[in-house]
Amino acid sequence: MDVIRTKRDGGELTDAEIDWVIDGYTRGVVADEQMSALAMAVLLRGMTGPEIARWTAAMINSGERLDLSGIGRPLVDKHSTGGVGDKITLPLAPLAAACGLGVPQLSGRGLGHSGGTLDKLEAIPGLRTGLSSDEFLTQLREVGAVVCAASESLAPADRKLYALRDVTGTVESIPLIASSIMSKKIAEGTPALLLDVKVGTGAFMKHLDAARELARTMVELGAAHRVRTTALLTDMNTPLGRAVGNALEVAESVEVLAGGGPSDVVELTVRLAREMLTLAGLDAPDPVEALRDGRAMDVWRRMVRAQGGDPDAPLPVAAETELVRAGRDGVVTRLDAYPVGVAAWRLGAGRARKEDPVSASAGVLVLRGEGEPVRAGDPVLELRTDDPATIPSALRALDGAVEIGDAAPDPRPLVIDSVSFVDG
């Protein structure tokens, strides 16, 4: 009660108070209703830099910390705050490994309109995302890239607190977001981390100022724990690429690894790979060459096989399709990421609760993107699902998502800004 009152009244928590609360909550001594009250106080009152750093350290110390020494490669991890069509981890991890990096990617599942990397990978027949520590380390040494679920022993306080925040209206707190992300990444044991902070309608952070604050907070947390950290702020006002949905995004990722794919997905994948090489201090050939000569694809196939998947197996295909057509001649001036993500979720690609199943084949294909010409009746979006009963609610979600005008909109930069510890 003393800790709750201190934060409720705008005070600063001591290191000892933070350590006690996180340890007590992890062990069940601090009740959910008490931690809910404290989380709401943090949301409303905020935290100082030292408070956030100590909160993060306490969550790291609630579990084990991986030892990745002896892997034999410079290690760099990447984390995205999530968006619509954000499949970048899939081509990026093998691309970075093909350039000489080790990429130990511990990923998560989708919730709501934002997709999850593990759900996407599990659309590949046979692929496992639950690996033992020995399997994780062996694959990292031998393949150079591993994308799997985090162990339950890694930052268990965060897992418990995240679930509580999700049902108490406290998800939006920047101190709690930053400490949640960084506690897991720092406990993972990588010496360098690249953050892709999405900004826009389809992102968790809708406004640039808030996204910058989150990026700065996470970069500072990385520096405090001797993890070289850079954050890029990237646009998420329109879907990334053409595919939104699990198997659909895997197929698009394979296109990128084969040297094709949508230009925005290729651009961001290559930019992030270059940033990862810079963080590692590795003077490697341009990642474009590793896409062009097939090295990245080779690593992808090895990674999929190492996790029990068949890279040659057909991906699941939905039984039902529905087209959304243009109402007039013109140019697509706006394609809003958020309703597209909600539509894919309602078609079965996403989940409302963490325990809900997802459909591998459901999703949305973007047939005409922003700036592209259309004629009345042309298909703009293609909805895919195995359950035709989901189509009406998906169509309702898309009401107003597509705008058609007479002139193409001004192009937006895909990478808006960057934040590193050097420049603050």
**What string of DSSP letters covers 323-359?**
EEE-SSSEEEEEE-HHHHHHHHIIIIIS-SSTTS---
Instruction: Let me know whether 301 and 342 are in one domain.
Output: no
Instruction: Let me know whether 185 and 302 are in one domain.
Output: yes
Of 233-237, 283-287, 328-332, 358-362, give the lowest mean pLDDT range: 283-287
What's the CATH number where 46 sits?
1.20.970.10
Which residues are paired to 107 by β-bridges?
Answer: 149
At 182-200, the pLDDT tens digits run 999 999 999 999 999 999 9
- Token pair recorded at residue 378: 């042309």
Distance CA 350, CA 369 (A): 22
At 391-416, the pLDDT tens digits run 999 999 999 999 999 999 999 999 99
- Token pair recorded at residue 107: 């990923």
Residues 6+ apart with CB under 8 A from 12: 6, 48, 50, 51
Domain total for the chain?
3
Instruction: Let me know whether 242 and 371 are in one domain.
Output: no
Task: Give the chain's mean pLDDT.
Answer: 94
Residue entry with tokens 């080779």: 298
Instruction: Let me know whether 224 and 272 are in one domain.
Output: yes
Distance CA 136, CA 130 (A): 9
- Does residue 372 form part of some domain? yes
Instruction: Let me know whether 127 and 225 are in one domain.
Output: yes
Residue 214 — pLDDT band, cuts 50, 70, 90? very high
Catalytic residue numbers read 79, 158, 165, 180, 184
Instruction: Let me know whether 34 and 176 are in one domain.
Output: no
Greatest pairwise CA separation for the chain in angstroms: 65
Q: Which domain holds residue 37?
A: 2-60
Pair type for strands 103-107 and 145-149:
parallel
Residues 6+ apart with CB under 8 A from 334: 238, 370, 402, 403, 409
- Token pair recorded at residue 289: 């060459």
Instruction: Let me know whether 301 and 345 are in one domain.
Output: no
- Does residue 47 form part of some domain? yes
Residues comprising the chain, all counted:
424
Q: What is the C-alpha end-to-end distance of the chain, expressed in Å?
A: 36
